[in-house]
Structure 1
Amino acid sequence: MTEDLGGRYLVTLDLDGVTDKAALMDRVSRALSLPDWFGRNWDALADSLADRTVWPEESAARGLLIVVRGWRPYAETDPDAWRTALDVFAEAADRTPALTVVLALGGSS
C-alpha cells in the first residue's frame, strides 16, 4: 500500500507470515519495487534503502516513510535476524535523512 502522508511517500511493509530472512527480503523487494539486481542480503538491503535512485519514483523528491507492520512474529521466530534488520533500517535512516522507518505496534489489518 502506498499513499501520500505529510509530504513523504508512504510504503507499508507488511511482514505478516514472514518467518525467515528470504521472505523478509522478498517482502521488502516487492513493497519498494526494488530492481531485479537487488541482492537479497543485508548489505544490499542497506544500500537499497539508502539509495534514493532505487526508491519508488514518487518518493525520490519527497522522501520515503516505511511503516513496518506485522513484524512481531518474525522478531520472535528469528530474533538475531530481526536485530540485524533493525540495525539495517536504522543505519539506512541515519545515512539518508529523507528516509524514515517506523514500526507499527497495532495489528496488521
Structure 2
Amino acid sequence: MTVDLTGITSKAAIHQLFKEKLGFEEWYGPSWDAFWDSIIAIVEMPPVLTLTNWEEFAEHCPRDMEILRQVMQDYAVEMAPKRIVLA
C-alpha cells in the first residue's frame, strides 16, 4: 500500500491522512502514541506501507519526521517482516 504525503505540512494533517487511509478508529487523535497503538494492535496493516512525497512534511515538521522515522524502525523490529518505508 502506498500513501502519498504531497501537501502534508502539519502533524494534524499527517495523522488525519493516516486515519483515513489506514482505517483507524473514529477516536483516533493526532498523536504518535495513538499511531503506534493503531498500527501495532488495532488495524490490519499491509505487509509494506510506502510513504511517498514525504520531503515537504519533513521540511515543515522536522521533529515529527524524526519521530516517524523512529516509529518506522521500532515497527520493523516489532512487526517483522511488515515494515513502513519512505520512497
| Structures share fold, TM-score greater than 0.5 | yes
TM-score by length of 2: 0.87
Q: Which residue of 2 aligns with 1:21?
A: 11
Measure, in 1, the Cα distance between the counterparts of 2:54 and 2:38: 20
Root-mean-square deviation (Å):
1.5
Measure, in 2, the Cα distance between the counterparts of 1:19 and 1:99: 26
Is the contact made by 1:50 and 1:93 (CA closer than 8 Å) also made in structure 2? no
Q: Which residue of 2 aligns with 1:77?
A: 60
Which structure is higher in RCO with an 8 Å CA cutoff and minimum separation 6? 2
Q: Which residue of 2 aligns with 1:55?
A: 44
Q: Which residue of 2 aligns with 1:67?
A: 50
Q: Which residue of 2 aligns with 1:7?
A: none
Is the contact made by 2:72 and 2:85 (CA closer than 8 Å) also made in structure 1? no
Structure with the bigger percentage of helix: 2
> Based on CA coordinates, which of the two structures has the bigger radius of gyration?
1
Is the contact made by 1:46 and 1:91 (CA closer than 8 Å) also made in structure 2? no
Q: Which residue of 2 aligns with 1:4?
A: none
Q: Aligned-pair distance for 1:37?
A: 2.1
Answering whether residue 24 of structure 2 is matched by residue 34 of structure 1, we say: yes
Measure, in 1, the Cα distance between the counterparts of 2:40 and 2:75: 5
Q: Which residue of 2 aligns with 1:87?
A: 70
Measure, in 1, the Cα distance between the counterparts of 2:20 and 2:9: 16
Could you list the runs of 5+ residues in structure 2 that have no partner in the other structure?
none
Q: Which aligned runs of 4 or more in structure 1 are off by greater than 6 angstroms?
A: none
Q: Aligned-pair distance for 1:98?
A: 4.2
The share of aligned pairs that are identical, in percent, is 30
Q: How many residue pairs get matched?
A: 87
